Amino acid sequence: MPTGASRARPGPRRPAVPRRTPLLLRRATSADLPLLLVHCRRMWEDIGGRSRAQIARLMPVYRRWVRREIAHRRFLAFVVEDPTGRVAGSGAIWISPVHPRPGRLLRRTMPYVLSMYTVPEFRGRGVASRIVRTMVHWAKTHGYRRIYLHASKQGLPVYARLGFVLGREMRREW
């Protein structure tokens, strides 16, 4: 997930999908990998601030990384689609390593939300919210006490509505 997101580009001018279209959420399979890569690329494009060349260079690296993390059972994703299989959005969880600290001696991993993307025609109808709620449920049922992410400008209100809070993380850049 991005940090310090800059202005998002407007999505294409296609008609919104009727709100009554039912949407189904499912766990992604390895067959969804190409879709997840497309959504990752579009997410970075929509967030802005990165050149097309930078994003293009990212994709093969990200693909190899995702495949490796899936192989180590550290990556899972969810897809929302309509009954015809038209995809509305997706999002992923990376089970990231964390250092030991008081109260965290044995479990040294933490779920991290990344690559959240909703297809423009499906935006504003709860697709991302639904995916994040499912992720929170997944994290709770797997014994985690928190889940974290870096929010883009568009993502921030969505996560805030779902109870995500800004922490005390600091950084210095050069």
Ligand X SMILES: CC(C)(COP(=O)(O)OP(=O)(O)OC[C@H]1O[C@@H](n2cnc3c(N)ncnc32)[C@H](O)[C@@H]1OP(=O)(O)O)[C@@H](O)C(=O)NCCC(=O)NCCS
Q: Which stretches of the chain bind ligand X, using CB under 6 A?
A: 1-2, 8, 43, 46-47, 89, 116-118, 123-129, 151-152, 154-155, 157-158, 161
Nearer CB in complex with ligand X: 143/163: 163
How near is the Cβ of 70 to ligand X at its closest, in Å?
A: 21
- How many degrees, rounded to 5, is the angle at CA 19 between CA 84 and CA 26? 45
Please say which residue, 20 or 101, places its beta carbon nearer to ligand X: 20
Comparing every residue's Cβ against ligand X, the nearest one is 126
Query: What CA–CA distance (Å, rounded) separates 12 from 10?
Result: 7
Query: At its nearest, how many Å lie between ligand X and the CB of residue 131?
Result: 8
In the complex with ligand X, the residue whose CB is nearer, 157 or 174, is 157
HSE-up of 164 (CA within 13 Å, CB side)?
21
- Closest to ligand X by CB, 8 or 59: 8
| Contact criterion met (CB below 8 Å) for 90 and 117 | yes
* CB contact set of 167 (below 8 Å; sequence gap of 6+): 148
